[in-house]
Amino acid sequence: MLKKANLPARLSLLSAATALCCFAAACGQTGNDSETGAASKEDNTLVVLNYGKYLDPSVIRMFEEETGIDIKLEEYESPEEMYTKFTSGSIRYDVVCTSDYMVERLISEGAVAEIDFSGFEYYENLNPEIIRSAQIYDPESKYSMPYFYGTLGILYDTNLVPAEATESWSILWDETYADSIIMQNSVRDTFVPALRLLDYDINTEDQGQMEEAAALLIEQKPIVYAYYVDETADEVAAGNAAMALVYSGEAAYAAELNEDLAYTVPKEGSNLWIDSWFIPKNSAQKENAQTFLDFLCREDVAMVNFEYVWYGTPNLKVMEQLDEETLADATIFPTEEILSNCVVFKQFSQDTTDRYNYLWKMLKSE
Amino acid sequence: MYRLKRQFLAGPYLLWIAGFILLPLVFILYYAFTADGSFTFSQVAAIADPVHRKALFLALKLGFFCTLVCLLLAYPLCLILSRFHFRHQSFVVFLFILPMWMNFMLRILAWRLLLSNSGLINSLFELIGIGHVKLLNTQLSVVFGMVYDFLPFMVLPIYNSMARINKDVIEAARDLGANSATVLIKIVIPLTLSGIISGIIMVFVPALTSFVISDLLGGGKVLLIGNVIEQEFMQGMNWHLGSGLSVVLMIFVVVSMALLNTFEKEGGSAAVW
């Protein structure tokens, strides 16, 4: 297995070599001129790396108009893909949003810069309780800023599936729903139902428990319609499947599209996720990045964003403006009872990650 | 002086090859034969792992069926197009190339909508009483998508080689008493062999190495060797293993091309690649 620390260095060498080779040959000069040229050109551009569909485009426009800072938005689908993009070093990102366990991993690798919250005007808008929950991966709350949070559960069509049946993850193994169950095309999420059904910790690193869970998932595969990521909610809303394993935010979005859909977090317990922003250590725009994060905390901006994403927001000022129906919607804001049953993902050791990836390939090749 | 200038014109292309084909190949080879900084065969040998072997065999199997179906569809079509003269003939050929004007991903996404559980085709099936059929996210739907995407690559070389056949040759065969079947087997097929070989290569190689079609029409349930490699690079962060498997896949591509090339030499004229 490759040593992580070597990789960025090796990759930058690779891209430098390619660039140098092209420039040197094309204009008969060394690459130095072009490097400084590129740096001055990017001066006022903030490169933002975020999940797809996770930031209202009008927020970007507002920020650009108010501050004169340009935003270049890069998107990704899964935390693992984000890690690859981030560490490959071909683009230098200035501010990144990703999931809890990935933030933890990058903090432990020393890739994350401290954020100076004292200069923030709107940081107080954030719910201290969520900041406290986030201390599982950022113990001193100095590297990251919570953006949205929620749970992992079952989105189902109430015409096809009785609500009581979704109280247990075992519904996902029920053959009467063959060919109409969608699972997540991401290792950790899809392992959650299997691990919880077996009553194992979703952060288990025990090889035997992992293999038992994998065997359970292999058993399930014939009745699975597909393993999707971003399109999961649309597929259920379109009636292509009776139920799906989704994040709570996607469930809320799907319910907007189709009134017959509902969401449950099964009683065996699940995953609580918190997506957070952080500023990479190698960002050359740390001040602009902090301005951007502060801007995201402002109540009107956070409101626009909340209405676009429909995930649980840690912004108290936004919650004050919401009606009771929205606040009572357990899909968006999980109840105390649900929360007590849910666990945040911990980052695995490299060996365990490799083992999960291998079990995942095994499942897919069945 | 003039010759020097002409050589200079090839410069951008040579740079392109060096920077974007040769250099990446060198990096892939470097990654494939190293681990933790020392030389090793283990990344390439990883193809023997049951999971990887299964994915490779599945890719070979689906690639084979895709090529076979393309050939069986394209050859009779080309025969009809080149033999029988009718009005707007070139328009019909144009119709077959027309889909290539649209991005192939978009076309595959359209098929995903059509084939899905509540899609147009299943709705139609239910309307006429056939009932619900599992169409999407199967090996069959992946092969279907491949055939749909790669068929023009089979039609064009075969049609070109058929259009080149001198009509006098066929007339001479008929004058000497050959019936249609004999003309087809003894004259037309041998003379279009180079087109067939080109077509097979141009369909089999992208089918063998594809990963996007199997992802979109396989719903993440059909794991081809291309998907394994993509996953190693994008998700697993294991560039050494990804490169090692890529090298194995390249070997399969080169060997299949070389095998077909031996047929070609008997057939005669030049191939596409």
Pairing of strands B38-39, B34-35: antiparallel
Those residues with Cβ within 8 angstroms of residue B53's Cβ, 6 or more apart along the chain or in another chain? B47
pLDDT of residue A11: 40
- Top residue of B235, B238, B245 to mutate, by most chain A CBs within 10 Å, is B235
Distance in angstroms (rounded) separating the CA atoms of residues A138 and A49: 20
Distance in angstroms (rounded) separating the CA atoms of residues A153 and A174: 16
Spans of chain A, pLDDT less than 70: 1-42
Closest CA of chain B from A298, distance in Å: 34
* Contact between A285 and A264 (Cβ < 8 Å): no
pLDDT of residue B265: 63
Q: A235: which chain B residues are within 8 Å (Cβ-Cβ)?
A: 116
Q: Per CB distance under 8 Å, which residues of A are interface residues toward B?
A: 1-4, 6-7, 14, 17-18, 21-22, 25-26, 78, 80-81, 83-84, 87, 179-180, 185, 187, 221, 224-228, 235, 238-241, 354, 357-358, 361-362, 364-365
SS3 of residue A228 by DSSP: strand
pLDDT of residue A78: 83
What is the pTM for the complete model shown? Answer: 0.80
* Contact between A296 and A302 (Cβ < 8 Å): yes
Distance in angstroms (rounded) separating the CA atoms of residues A52 and A151: 18
Q: A224: which chain B residues are within 8 Å (Cβ-Cβ)?
A: 221
Question: What share of residues in chain A are helix, strand, coil (percent, to 5)?
Answer: 50, 20, 30
User: Residue A10 is which amino acid?
Assistant: R
Sign of CA dihedral A108, A112, A118, A124: negative
Token pair, residue A257, equals 């599209």
In this structure, the number of other CB atoms found within 10 A of the CB of residue B65 comes to 17
Question: What share of residues in chain B are helix, strand, coil (percent, to 5)?
Answer: 80, 0, 20
In this structure, the number of other CB atoms found within 10 A of the CB of residue A265 comes to 28
* Contact between A184 and A190 (Cβ < 8 Å): yes
Sign of CA dihedral B147, B150, B152, B154: negative
Q: C-alpha distances in angstroms, A122 versus A132, B24, B238?
A: 18, 47, 41
Per-residue pLDDT of chain B (273 residues; tens, 9 = 90+): 566 677 788 888 999 999 999 999 999 999 999 988 899 999 999 999 999 999 999 999 999 999 999 999 999 999 988 876 767 777 877 887 788 888 888 999 999 999 999 999 999 999 998 888 899 999 999 999 999 999 999 999 999 999 889 889 999 999 999 999 999 999 999 999 999 999 999 999 999 999 999 999 999 999 999 999 999 998 878 899 999 999 999 999 999 989 888 876 654 444 444
pLDDT of residue A136: 87
Cβ <8 Å between A238 and B116: yes
By CA distance, what is A178's nearest residue in B?
B134
